[in-house]
Chain A
Amino acid sequence: MVIPVEQTEPIITTRGLDLFYGETPALNQIDIDILRHRVTALIGPSGCGKSTLLRCFNRMNDLIPSCRVTGSVSYRGENIYAPDVDVVHLRKLIGMVFQRPNPFPKSIYDNVAYGPKVHGVRDKGALDTIVEESLKKAALWDEVKDRLHTPAMGLSGGQQQRLCIARTLAVGPEVILMDEPCSALDPIATAKIETLIEELREQYTVIIVTHSMQQAARVSDYTGFMYLGELIEFGKTEKIFETPDKELTSNYITGRFG
């Protein structure tokens, strides 16, 4: 079942994607088209598989033993599960921001410069530029520009999360995956991240998993509703929230379960 969407230009496409943890199925026949330069939100109750799906896009699931994937996930037309794919390179192009901020125990500067450095940038001037631009894009520059060389652990939770976003941007990805990036943050920090997502859309494709339907409605162009490992409904966010096709979707949206 391919759910029709307004076909502009899909950047990530899955067809018949199944995922198992050992014998337990976690994703069932997922077909989804993620559009370039749009924000796509994945919503659904706990355990519905939305984070699992997100982690398929940059193969972070590879790190989980016993995880098995069938079907296809294509990124710009190439199957990322093909045997000759360089996973390391893939993750450079499809970055990820995690649920809890996970800055490295290094300075703010070194956190952002880490990605470019491991990818071979040695020039100090180039690194300085990347760090500054990344921090600016993550709306953190003004807050940290005077203490770039202090430990990142000293930042507040919301600042740490924006640092993690800056760190991801510094690698120069096309797609940014966000796994409940605000669930560990207070409302003010959340608002800042949401504004940031707004801005990122102009340059990047963002896929965000969120627990908060309000957040999905606020930040996303497209929304996918998942339930028990299946993609129940996918479409423009206004449509999903105002006139969903499926009863399950409308029950979840209106808070009757989940």
Chain B
Amino acid sequence: MNPLHTYAAIRNASPEGDLALLTAGHRGGAYERVIRSIWFLTAIFGVLCVFFILAFLLKDGLPLFSSVSPAEFLFGETWNPGGATPSYGTMPLWTGTILVTIGAMAIATPLGIASAVFISELASPRVRSVVKPVVELLAGIPSVVYGFFGLVFLTNALRLQFDIPSGETWLAGSILLAVMALPTIITVAEDAISAVPREYREGSMGLGANHWQTISRVIVPSALSGITAALILGMGRAVGETMAVLMVTGNAAVIPDPLYDVLSPVRTLTGTLGIEMGEVAIGSTHYHALFGVALLLLLITLAVNLAAMGIMGHIRRSQAGGNGPGRLSSLMQPHGRKIRTAGLLSLLLLAGAVFGPLAAVLLAVIVPAGWYAAARIPAAHAQRAAFSLMYAAIGLVVLAVAVILGDILIHGLPAISWEFLTGSPRNLGREGGIFPAIVGTLYLVAGAIAVALPVGMGAAIYLTEYTREGLATKIIRSGVDLLNGTPSIVFGLFGFSFLVLYLGFGVSLLAGQVTLSLMILPTIIRTTEEALRSVPDSLREGSLALGATRWQTIARVILPPAVPGIITGAILSIGRAAGETAPILFTAAIFSSRFLPDSVLEPVMALPYHLFILSTNVPGAQTNQYGTALVLVTLVVGIYLVAIAIRTHYQNKITW
């Protein structure tokens, strides 16, 4: 009896009769190739985007240098494009960006690292399950809401505290940016710390070191590369932020005098774009100068992000090699003393430059003295002191969330009414409702996700399932990473230059949707990649070994368990897109409209833009400002909560 007869349905020919069995196959080979090509095209889309963004910034930026020399542009001390003799010196602008970023990092670095250590080392599982979502909540608040909060709360507090005419200052910008950079820093640093192998911890504890000694001498040094990457990523976020900075720094294009005057107003590169782009005459020198500013901004963020990518790459490689701590820290360890000295010296120089020689001298005395003293405090006391500082840090972070959300909730609730949610704005938004803005935001977001989800998923499938790591994937990944690090205002400029003007979409819903979709594309690619990677390779092998094709394996075995992860990523992107202002500032949004758009080629109202204009340009709209902020935060946070709920639901369910 032929044992195979029941499988006649599968095997058309009996094996004995068909000698060309192996080459007889190739069924569906062409189909497989087509699918592969589609995913490949989606994957290089990201690279094309980076290329296009650069090309269009260059196209509109380079003509500037026919009338203004590069040296004048970079080092000129006056930015006054509107003056009788216009001048286009960006020095005050990039100084502003650097100063605000330094200030933010000075605040966020200690808070972020201490919070990360707290969450991964000190917090009980219950505390962690509360604190982590709180930190994620901080990441979910749209930047225009931060700006609004800064404007109505922080600047006032500063004005009263320091008795100055206006609280719109460098300090206000730095504090706000610090809060905004914190979630990035805490999350990435915490991941790095949690990834330190248990053996290191046990090894140190087993030698009789106490918890703090283990943390400070074993765990944090092992996680140093990851922590560094976290700080740089946080910095990238701070450099590229537009709306919040724009709303609280005062925007005077001056270099603070003296340089350390944190109560001076400043203007950043991003702020300049946000303020002037909307009013500039297209094709004028000023217009080209703004694209020059965008290029400069892009270069700075590129440098920052390349640094972070480099460090992350080291970590990944050294982890793949199983060498425990990242390469950076192992590189640094033999030179610990030298690096510490160099770090201290550069800090001194920086302090001297920014705060004057007195500060440098003070620092030169205090730091070594503190170092000396710290080494001689009994271990138990040191631990108590260090842990108290960590509790204080996490307390501050939680307090920040509570104050921001509390303020908006308390003042926003009275504004909420049926009319507010379903009516059109009247009297420049002081009265009436925000219905067109809510619907406009939903339109924008729906369009963005409809474009970005298929493209992003395709790219991720190509990257994880079809390729081996090589030059092509490297280029694609770098393109995606660069896209991810591009400031949202640069997307806005690109959308304006390419979609609105070049393709002739005009300021329209469609232009906004496409711009937003480019912005969320990297997030979707990354989360989909992660979701696909979390499916064990043994399932791929199992399916391929049964003679399934690549695409059959992906569609039937790999994708189904990855769907919750992909959905989570998509929802997070929706939340981000809903809260973004800068990309739609010049591409899609209008302020006051009684009507909904009839076609995708008409402009729309949007919640973040509405809030921005209400709080900066319409005096006496306090109630509706808070109301709009509350609706926006509720919408975005609500979307995030759905994502988090889906994630936890499936995390508990899937076990391999």
Instruction: Assess whether A119 is in contact with B547, with CB atoms less than 8 Å apart.
Output: yes
Instruction: Assess whether B549 is in contact with A88, with CB atoms less than 8 Å apart.
Output: yes
Q: Within 8 Å of chain A (Cβ to Cβ): is B384? A: no
Interface size for A (C-beta < 8 A) is: 51
Cα-based distance from A164 to B545 in the complex (angstroms): 11
How far is the CB of A84 from the nearest CB of chain B, in Å? 5
Chain A residue with Cβ nearest B467: A65
User: Which residues of chain A (64-121) have a CB below 8 Å from chain B?
Assistant: 65, 75-78, 80, 82, 84-86, 88-93, 95-96, 98, 100, 102-106, 114-121
Q: Which residues of B contact A58 (CB under 8 A)?
A: 545
Q: Which residues of B contact A102 (CB under 8 A)?
A: 536, 538-539, 541-542
User: Which residues of chain A (102-149) have a CB below 8 Å from chain B?
Assistant: 102-106, 114-121, 123, 126, 129-130, 133
Q: Within 8 Å of chain B (Cβ to Cβ): is A56? A: no
Instruction: Assess whether A118 is in contact with B546, with CB atoms less than 8 Å apart.
Output: yes
| Besides A86-B26, A89-B22, A171-B7, 14 new A-B residue pairs in contact (Cβ under 8 A), listed by A number | A60-B544, A60-B545, A78-B21, A86-B22, A86-B27, A90-B547, A102-B536, A104-B543, A114-B556, A133-B6, A168-B546, A172-B10, A174-B4, A204-B3
Q: Which residues of B contact A77 (CB under 8 A)?
A: 19
Best-surrounded residue of A75, A86, A106, A153 (most CB of chain B within 10 A): A86
Instruction: Assess whether B542 is in contact with A164, with CB atoms less than 8 Å apart.
Output: yes
Instruction: Assess whether B6 is in contact with A171, with CB atoms less than 8 Å apart.
Output: no
Q: Within 8 Å of chain A (Cβ to Cβ): is B23? A: yes
Known: A60-B545, A96-B545, A102-B536. A172 touches B11 (CB 8 A): yes
Q: Which residues of A contact B19 (CB under 8 A)?
A: 76-78
Q: Which residues of A contact B22 (CB under 8 A)?
A: 75, 78, 80, 82, 85-86, 89-90, 93
Q: Within 8 Å of chain B (Cβ to Cβ): is A203? A: yes
Instruction: Assess whether A63 is in contact with B557, with CB atoms less than 8 Å apart.
Output: no
Instruction: Assess whether A172 is in contact with B545, with CB atoms less than 8 Å apart.
Output: no
Q: Within 8 Å of chain A (Cβ to Cβ): is B597? A: no
Query: How many residue pairs between the two chains, A and B, have CB atoms under 8 Å in the bound complex?
Result: 135
How far is the CB of B461 from the nearest CB of chain A, in Å? 17
Instruction: Assess whether B545 is in contact with A86, with CB atoms less than 8 Å apart.
Output: no
Q: What 6 pairs across the A-B complex have the smallest Cβ distances?
A: A89-B25, A86-B25, A92-B547, A172-B7, A102-B538, A203-B3
How far is the CB of B451 from the nearest CB of chain A, in Å? 30
How far is the CB of A129 from the nearest CB of chain B, in Å? 6
Instruction: Assess whether A92 is in contact with B9, with CB atoms less than 8 Å apart.
Output: no
Q: Within 8 Å of chain A (Cβ to Cβ): is B24? A: yes
Q: Within 8 Å of chain A (Cβ to Cβ): is B127? A: no
Q: Which residues of A contact B283 (CB under 8 A)?
A: none
A-B contact pairs, 8 of them (CB 8 A): A78-B20, A78-B22, A82-B22, A85-B22, A89-B22, A89-B26, A118-B548, A202-B3
Instruction: Assess whether A63 is in contact with B654, with CB atoms less than 8 Å apart.
Output: no
Q: Within 8 Å of chain A (Cβ to Cβ): is B617? A: no
Cα-based distance from A82 to B538 in the complex (angstroms): 26
Q: Within 8 Å of chain B (Cβ to Cβ): is A167? A: yes
Q: Which residues of A contact B26 (CB under 8 A)?
A: 86, 89
Known: A100-B538, A174-B15. A114 touches B545 (CB 8 A): no
Instruction: Assess whether B23 is in contact with A167, with CB atoms less than 8 Å apart.
Output: no
Known: A104-B557, A105-B654. A88 touches B542 (CB 8 A): no
Q: Which residues of A contact B654 (CB under 8 A)?
A: 105
Instruction: Assess whether A95 is in contact with B9, with CB atoms less than 8 Å apart.
Output: no
Q: Within 8 Å of chain A (Cβ to Cβ): is B203? A: no
Cα-based distance from A202 to B432 in the complex (angstroms): 83
Cα-based distance from A129 to B25 in the complex (angstroms): 25
Cα-based distance from A139 to B15 in the complex (angstroms): 25
Q: Which residues of A contact B552 (CB under 8 A)?
A: 118
Q: Within 8 Å of chain A (Cβ to Cβ): is B560? A: yes
Chain A residue with Cβ nearest B20: A78
Q: Within 8 Å of chain A (Cβ to Cβ): is B655? A: yes
Instruction: Assess whether B9 is in contact with A126, with CB atoms less than 8 Å apart.
Output: yes
Q: Within 8 Å of chain A (Cβ to Cβ): is B208? A: no
Chain A residue with Cβ nearest B655: A153
Q: Which residues of A contact B11 (CB under 8 A)?
A: 172
Known: A114-B556, A172-B7. A89 touches B21 (CB 8 A): yes
Cα-based distance from A105 to B650 in the complex (angstroms): 13
Instruction: Assess whether A130 is in contact with B557, with CB atoms less than 8 Å apart.
Output: no
Cα-based distance from A2 to B613 in the complex (angstroms): 85
Known: A95-B545, A172-B4. A88 touches B25 (CB 8 A): yes
Q: Which residues of A contact B279 (CB under 8 A)?
A: none
Partner among A96, A98, A116, A164 whose Cβ is within 8 Å of the Cβ of B10: A116
Instruction: Assess whether B469 is in contact with A65, with CB atoms less than 8 Å apart.
Output: yes
How far is the CB of A183 from the nearest CB of chain B, in Å? 14
Q: Within 8 Å of chain A (Cβ to Cβ): is B561? A: yes
Cα-based distance from A60 to B27 in the complex (angstroms): 20
Q: Which residues of B contact A95 (CB under 8 A)?
A: 545-547
Instruction: Assess whether B23 is in contact with A84, with CB atoms less than 8 Å apart.
Output: yes
Instruction: Assess whether B547 is in contact with A88, with CB atoms less than 8 Å apart.
Output: yes
Q: Which residues of B contact A105 (CB under 8 A)?
A: 539, 560-561, 654, 656
How far is the CB of B465 from the nearest CB of chain A, in Å? 11
Instruction: Assess whether B468 is in contact with A65, with CB atoms less than 8 Å apart.
Output: yes
Q: Which residues of B contact A164 (CB under 8 A)?
A: 542
Known: A98-B541, A114-B556, A116-B9. A167 touches B21 (CB 8 A): no
Chain B residue with Cβ nearest A105: B561
Cα-based distance from A119 to B25 in the complex (angstroms): 11
Q: Which residues of A contact B540 (CB under 8 A)?
A: 63
Partner among B29, B541, B547 whose Cβ is within 8 Å of the Cβ of A118: B547
How far is the CB of B535 from the nearest CB of chain A, in Å? 9
How far is the CB of A136 from the nearest CB of chain B, in Å? 11
What 0/1 readout, one digit per residue, does chain A (15-55) give for beta carbons within 8 Å of chain B? Answer: 00000000000000000000000000000000000000000
Chain B residue with Cβ nearest A123: B9
What 0/1 readout, one digit per residue, does chain A (184-222) give for beta carbons within 8 Å of chain B? Answer: 000000000000000000111000000000000000000
Best-surrounded residue of B468, B469, B546, B560 (most CB of chain A within 10 A): B546
Q: Which residues of B contact A100 (CB under 8 A)?
A: 538
Q: Which residues of B contact A203 (CB under 8 A)?
A: 3-4
What 0/1 readout, one digit per residue, does chain B (555-571) give for beta carbons within 8 Å of chain A? Answer: 01100110000000000
Q: Which residues of B contact A82 (CB under 8 A)?
A: 22-23
User: Which residues of chain A (200-247) have a CB below 8 Å from chain B?
Assistant: 202-204
User: Which residues of chain B (512-542) have a CB below 8 Å from chain A?
Assistant: 536, 538-542
Cα-based distance from A164 to B549 in the complex (angstroms): 18
Cα-based distance from A245 to B285 in the complex (angstroms): 90
Q: Which residues of A contact B549 (CB under 8 A)?
A: 88, 118
Instruction: Assess whether B9 is in contact with A121, with CB atoms less than 8 Å apart.
Output: yes
Cα-based distance from A202 to B3 in the complex (angstroms): 9
Q: Which residues of B contact A85 (CB under 8 A)?
A: 22-23
Cα-based distance from A76 to B23 in the complex (angstroms): 13
Partner among B6, B29, B468, B542 whose Cβ is within 8 Å of the Cβ of A104: B542
Instruction: Assess whether B541 is in contact with A167, with CB atoms less than 8 Å apart.
Output: no
Q: Which residues of A contact B547 (CB under 8 A)?
A: 88-93, 95, 115, 118-119, 171
Q: Which residues of B contact A92 (CB under 8 A)?
A: 10, 546-547
Partner among A91, A103, A126, A129 whose Cβ is within 8 Å of the Cβ of B544: A91
Chain B residue with Cβ nearest A203: B3
User: Which residues of chain B (12-39) have a CB below 8 Å from chain A?
Assistant: 15, 19-27, 29
How far is the CB of B495 from the nearest CB of chain A, in Å? 39
Known: A91-B546, A104-B542, A115-B546. A76 touches B560 (CB 8 A): no
Cα-based distance from A120 to B547 in the complex (angstroms): 12
Cα-based distance from A104 to B654 in the complex (angstroms): 12
Q: Which residues of A contact B556 (CB under 8 A)?
A: 114, 117-118
Partner among A93, A106, A117, A202 whose Cβ is within 8 Å of the Cβ of B21: A93
